[in-house]
Amino acid sequence: AQKITQTQPGMFVQEKEAVTLDCTYDTSDPSYGLFWYKQPSSGEMIFLIYQGSYDQQNATEGRYSLNFQKARKSANLVISASQLGDSAMYFCAMSSRLYGNNRLAFGKGNQVVVIP
């Protein structure tokens, strides 16, 4: 089985500051993918960033970067220069061959509120 853990309570972030969202995972598969999605109040799930287990470098996509620490099994999302539109739920997810057919296992999510 694979498991994703997101335990931070809701967070308030000052606009223009950086925020780090924690995610730890557990899997016995050496080959896996890690994803972060953003879900604003409208409900849509927006893909943000991907990290493969064999990727040598941490993934970056614009203001999003993934702090991948394989030995610690953590994949924290860093959002730099927060904007009001970043207020949303953020979900960490993982896929692996062992889990089958690239199904995604999701964490419980982190609530972020950006304040002006």
Partner 1 sequence: GAVVSQHPSWVICKSGTSVKIECRSLDFQATTMFWYRQFPKQSLMLMATSNEGSKATYEQGVEKDKFLINHASLTLSTLTVTSAHPEDSSFYICSARLFDRGRKDTQYFGPGTRLTVL
Q: Could you say whether residue 50 binds partner 1 (CB under 8 A)? A: yes
Give 16 or 103: the residue with its C-beta nearer to partner 1: 103
The tokens describing 88, both together, are: 């949303």
Q: CA-to-CA distance for 43 and 37, rounded, in angstroms?
A: 11
Q: CA-to-CA distance for 101 and 39, rounded, in angstroms?
A: 24
Q: Please count the CA atoms within 13 angstroms of the CA of 75 that sit on its side-chain side.
A: 28
**Binders in 86-115 for partner 1, by CB under 8 A:** 91, 95, 101-104, 106-109
Going 52 to 55 to 58 to 64, the CA torsion angle's sign is negative
Shortest CB 44 distance to partner 1, Å: 4
Residues binding partner 1: number (CB under 8 A): 21
Shortest CB 47 distance to partner 1, Å: 6
Among 18, 46, 81, 84, binds partner 1 (CB under 8 A): 46
Give 15 or 44: the residue with its C-beta nearer to partner 1: 44
Contacting residues for 62 by C-beta, under 8 A, at least 6 apart: none
Site string for partner 1, 54-73 (x = CB under 8 A): --------------------
